[in-house]
Amino acid sequence: MKKKGILVVSFGTSHLDTMEQTIERLEKSVEEAFPDRAVYRAFTSGIIIRKLKRTENLAVDTVREALDRMAKDGIEDVAVQPTHIINGIENERMMEVLMEKMGQFRRMQVGKPLLSSVDDYKKAIHAIMAETDLAEDEMLVFMGHGTEHHANSAYPTLEYTFHALGYSQVLVGTVESFPDLTNVRRKLEISGRKKVALMPFMLVAGDHAKHDMAGEEDSWKSELQEDGYEVRVIMKGLGEFEGIRKIFREHIEEAGE
């Protein structure tokens, strides 16, 4: 029996189509990269956990439950890897539970969220752009989640880094914080381009991507179309990019060094 384990912690999604393409693909790639470790799953969103149980009869552990399960299974050496994009509220809540449960294991290491170093930003950007085709006269607009937490500064930093790396046709906005759609619209106007590709900057292409970004009403897509832009949607969560999955695997390795 394996004594080492990896707990992959995601916010979660109730959309099974994107869960399969993102969270499950990431977990499988972790299993393949670390064959000596048993891989476990936890979600941090209680709402999503309850919804999955109610609508799909699918049980997913909370972080606390997953750690208890690992201890019961005889796991002694734990690596925890969040799939969070930034070091925000969800990550801090996860860390509180890890501190509480640390004593159950001989060793516990914790990997960092996706955007944790300058190199992470660069690697993430190159990974996405390597698999994204844009027309010359097209702007690429990312929708991030956004947060009241000070870690929200990751989003303007992300746009700045896109531009610094030569991707000047990329803009970053958020659903719930700064920069918002108003900021994006101003910059689109300045760009003079009339074609826009919309993509979520989130692990999964779930509720926010399908409704807030790409819905037929009261969405970024519908508002930009009203502004006269020709809009296409790239419905692809970050977990679908091999280069993004690689960054998370590297964070697991770095945690063990």
**DSSP bridge pairs for 38:** 5
In the residue annotation, 84 being an active-site residue is answered as: no
- Answer for the pair 216, 249: CB distance below 8 angstroms, yes or no: no
Instruction: Give the dihedral sign, CA 90/92/97/103.
Output: positive
Beta bridge partners of 200: 143
Instruction: Tell me which of 15, 84, 145, 208 is the catalytic residue.
Output: 145
How many C-alpha atoms does 54 have within 13 Å on its Cβ side?
Answer: 7
Q: Which residues of 193-218 are buried (b: 16+ CB within 10 A; e: fewer)?
A: bebbbbbbbbbbbbbbbbebbbeeee
**Residues with active-site annotation:** 145
